[in-house]
């Protein structure tokens, strides 16, 4: 009896949740734990900087189930708007960004009101505590002034601490709430209890702990909002409305939502308007600002047939376009999706910080209890023991640890997107700066990716212009890439490339085409094929060899059985390729060319770009094997390619880098996408990676050093509680502010891009 194979489990789906109420890395750990405990959830990654959770779960896991798990952990969660994930389309991501900005503005309004109350009342308490400490009414008035600060301004901290307590955990809120509560409770007792009257009170400590840390949290929220501006600006580039020509009729224009546009629609793009979606020009000529895509400020000329990318901005002339891609298929949507994913992924250095933060708060509470016990057991009174314990609780700052890495990755990913570098995640940033070798594909990476007529050598005194025109005539009906190159080359070189049409055109799969044009019998094909057809090619062997040695494909043109012209056709080098290779070599990288093309072509390209090491005739598997061999030597390898055939090598490399003009398969396999295709931008990615890693290390060093130095000082009563609150507030703001320096990252200037110094030390103002 035949047995039925077990059905494969349904594929897991990525989900995005927006989380409210997180303050530190301990919060991140709690939310991640709550989500991963839901049956059907494979993984969950929570980012404090973006306040988002990326969850991979089975299709039958409802969003409501995930939201409830987060709520049980003590936080609020809701599915991000914009479809299955907010990255589904640029418009969906823009709507998600609108929602985040609205919530951020509402939160900032409340915080500003609380801060105003906290600052005014804290100032009044300080005046009473230090100018009128002995007045009989001073302490009762300080108590009345401190209560609104404790109950309203400090409410977010107390709520967070209680939520964590209900679930058996601790967070940064616990530290703030415990410190403020202990100081207030003692001060209330010293004010109201007859046995304690006359002892000093610490209402100022309660007020300053809450107010100063609230100021720090306010500045942190503002700074985190700035960190996310790059991706939010990218998401808002796509317009919400498009001008559709009903039936393609210019006289019937209807304004429709960009969501309603489908492939094949004809749209009008007026001067100064952003392009609604991806497509091509069908009428009109003008210039388009593509700086959002390429980072280059010069507008790009567009004519009929030219590609248009949604989100780029039309210049001064109206254009009519045919829609090619919509929704999540557009380039802009892919950029938004890649950057969002990059900001959600955690590099290893952040995972280390998360593990430390998970035990940080309980450890600090234990240290504070130990501090109180040691001071009390060494003959000091209740107050003398309480003050250093409170300072220990307050000075500790898990926020700095939690924000050190994600904010830097968030800012770096956004800045990279602005520069045309789509970097998949923090782990990629950590790997790129260690690169030792870069393997470059040829076609579409170093070259334009399509053949072009580069040379025409007349033979036997024939008229080269007439011969080229006749060749173009018989090739005009062919779709072969070499035929297209001949026709396009004739159009560029000749005023009238086609004489009165070609007749009796026959294509031979063996290597050429023949036909009649202008009263002549014309043969166009490889010299070997022409020789087989009885054309004498012996006198042109030297010229053909010269073209071949330059990496050209040689095509002969015979008129009435006599060889008249040799054409050199090749995939031309990108204008920026040689300079890009020099930049990589100047950084000390080993640059290797790997191509499936012939050895003469590979040698010519390597010579023109200054590459010393090249490999020709490689299959996709051989390219991947070459990458594997290099990795086996202990070298960190990047592979740069653009085609489906490069996908195995891109996956095999430590860092796969796809040229954005290439295929979706290459982009899907790559960790970095170069939107504009300049291999020199690999150097920019490395420079950005190094700058980001430097910022992350500075942040983590600051966070660890801050706690390592200030916690013992607080335990020794060197730092009073009020100063501890100020230090804690400044700590997280310092980390975020340092990360924001990456917003001003500039690649090396074009004029000095060959200098290793300019690449290794990119402009990072501030």
Kindly list the catalytic residues. Answer: 441
CA–CA dist 53, 71 (Å, integer)? 13
- Per-residue tokens: 2: 């035949």
| CB count in 10 Å sphere of residue 273 | 16
CA–CA dist 146, 152 (Å, integer)? 10
CA–CA dist 302, 292 (Å, integer)? 16
Secondary structure class of 171 (helix, strand, coil): coil
- Per-residue tokens: 68: 């409830």
CA angle 574/579/581 to nearest 5° reads 90
CA–CA dist 443, 679 (Å, integer)? 12
CA–CA dist 384, 103 (Å, integer)? 43
Per the listing, tokens 């919060």 go with 27
- Per-residue tokens: 189: 């007792």
Is 642 in contact with 661 (CB distance < 8 Å)? yes
CA–CA dist 502, 519 (Å, integer)? 9
Task: Name residues whose C-beta falls within 8 Å of residue 270's C-beta, 6 or more positions apart in sequence.
Answer: 243, 314, 318
**Exposure string for 729-746, b = 16+ CB within 10 A, e = fewer:** bbbbbbbbbbbbbbbebe
Task: Name residues whose C-beta falls within 8 Å of residue 720's C-beta, 6 or more positions apart in sequence.
Answer: 205, 387, 391
Burial class of residue 377, CB neighbours in 10 A (0-12, 13-18, 19+) = exposed
637 φ, ψ (degrees, to nearest 5): -115, 135
Task: Name residues whose C-beta falls within 8 Å of residue 308's C-beta, 6 or more positions apart in sequence.
Answer: 269, 275, 278, 279, 280, 281, 288, 302, 319, 321
- Per-residue tokens: 419: 């520069």
Cα 282 to Cα 53, 250, 265, 271: the distances in Å are 43, 12, 11, 16
CA–CA dist 567, 469 (Å, integer)? 12
Is 682 in contact with 163 (CB distance < 8 Å)? no
Task: Name residues whose C-beta falls within 8 Å of residue 445's C-beta, 6 or more positions apart in sequence.
Answer: 640, 641, 642, 659, 662, 677, 679
Q: Mark out the alpha helices in 564-646 (DSSP H runs).
A: 577-586, 599-609, 620-632
599-609 vs 577-586: helix crossing angle, rounded to 10? 70
Report which secondary-structure segment, H or E, holds 326: none
Longest dimension (CA), the chain: 122
């Amino acid at each position: 009896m035949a047995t039925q194979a077990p059905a494969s489990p349904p594929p897991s789906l990525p989900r995005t949740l927006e989380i409210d109420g997180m303050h530190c890395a301990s919060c991140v750990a709690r939310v991640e734990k709550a989500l991963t405990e839901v049956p059907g959830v494979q993984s969950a990654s929570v980012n404090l900087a973006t306040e988002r959770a990326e969850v991979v779960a089975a299709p039958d896991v409802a969003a409501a189930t995930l939201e409830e798990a987060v709520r049980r952990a003590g936080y609020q969660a809701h599915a991000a708007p914009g479809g299955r994930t907010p990255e589904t389309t640029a418009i969906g991501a823009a709507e998600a960004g609108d929602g985040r900005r609205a919530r951020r503005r509402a939160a900032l309004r409340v915080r500003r009101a609380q801060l105003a109350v906290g600052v005014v009342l804290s100032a009044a308490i300080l005046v009473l505590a230090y100018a009128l400490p002995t007045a009989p009414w001073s302490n009762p008035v300080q108590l009345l002034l401190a209560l609104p600060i404790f109950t309203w301004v400090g409410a977010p901290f107390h709520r967070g601490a209680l939520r964590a307590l209900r679930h058996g955990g601790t967070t940064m809120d616990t530290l703030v709430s415990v410190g403020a509560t202990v100081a207030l409770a003692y001060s209330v007792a010293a004010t109201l209890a007859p046995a304690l009257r006359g002892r000093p009170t610490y209402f100022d400590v309660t007020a300053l702990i809450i107010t100063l840390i609230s100021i720090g949290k306010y500045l942190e929220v503002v700074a985190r909002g700035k960190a996310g501006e790059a991706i939010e600006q990218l998401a808002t580039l796509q317009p919400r409305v498009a001008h559709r020509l009903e039936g393609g009729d210019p006289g019937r224009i209807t304004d429709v939502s960009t969501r309603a546009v489908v492939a094949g629609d004809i749209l009008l793009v007026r001067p100064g308007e952003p392009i609604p979606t991806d497509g091509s020009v069908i009428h009109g000529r003008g210039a388009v600002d593509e700086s959002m895509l390429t980072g280059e400020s010069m507008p790009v000329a567009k004519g009929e047939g030219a590609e248009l990318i949604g989100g780029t901005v039309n210049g001064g002339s109206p254009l009519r376009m045919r829609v090619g891609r919509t929704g999540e298929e557009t380039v802009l949507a892919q950029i938004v999706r890649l950057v969002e994913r990059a900001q959600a992924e955690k590099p290893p250095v952040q995972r280390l910080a998360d593990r430390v933060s998970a035990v940080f708060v309980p450890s600090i509470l234990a240290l504070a209890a130990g501090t109180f016990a040691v001071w009390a057991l060494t003959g000091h009174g209740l107050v003398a023991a309480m003050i250093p314990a409170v300072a220990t609780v307050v000075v500790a700052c898990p926020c700095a640890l939690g924000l050190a890495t994600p904010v830097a990755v968030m800012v770096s990913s956004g800045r990279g997107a602005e520069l045309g570098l789509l970097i998949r995640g923090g782990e990629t940033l950590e790997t790129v700066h260690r690169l030792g070798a870069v393997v470059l594909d040829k076609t579409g990476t170093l070259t334009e990716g399509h053949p072009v007529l580069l040379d025409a050598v007349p033979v036997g005194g024939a008229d080269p212009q007439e011969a080229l025109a006749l060749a173009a005539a018989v090739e005009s009906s062919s779709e072969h890439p070499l035929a297209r190159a001949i026709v396009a080359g004739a159009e560029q070189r000749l005023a009238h490339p086609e004489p009165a049409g070609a007749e009796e055109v026959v294509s031979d799969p063996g290597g050429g085409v023949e036909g009649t044009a202008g009263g002549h019998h014309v043969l166009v094909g490889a010299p070997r094929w022409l020789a087989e057809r009885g054309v004498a090619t012996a006198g042109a062997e030297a010229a053909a060899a010269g073209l071949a040695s330059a990496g050209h494909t040689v095509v002969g043109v015979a008129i009435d059985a006599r060889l008249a012209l040799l054409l050199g056709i090749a995939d031309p080098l990108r204008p920026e390729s040689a300079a890009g290779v020099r930049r990589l070599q100047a950084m000390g990288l080993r640059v290797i060319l790997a191509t499936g093309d012939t050895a003469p072509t590979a040698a010519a390209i390597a010579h023109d770009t200054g590459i010393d090491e090249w490999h020709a005739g490689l299959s996709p598997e051989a390219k991947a094997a070459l990458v594997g061999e290099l990795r086996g030597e202990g070298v960190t390898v990047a592979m740069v390619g653009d085609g489906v055939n490069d996908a195995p090598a891109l996956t095999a490399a430590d860092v796969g880098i796809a040229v954005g003009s290439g295929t979706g398969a290459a982009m899907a396999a790559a960790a970095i996408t170069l939107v504009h295709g300049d291999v020199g931008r690999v150097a920019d990615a490395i420079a950005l990676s190094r700058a980001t890693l430097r910022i992350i290390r500075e942040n983590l060093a600051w966070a660890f050093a801050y706690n390592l130095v200030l916690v013992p000082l607080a335990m020794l009563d060197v730092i009073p509680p009020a100063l501890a609150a100020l230090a804690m507030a400044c700590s997280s703001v310092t980390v975020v502010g340092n990360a924001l320096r990456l917003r001003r990252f500039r690649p090396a200037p074009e004029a000095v891009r060959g200098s290793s110094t300019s690449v290794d030390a990119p402009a990072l103002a501030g």
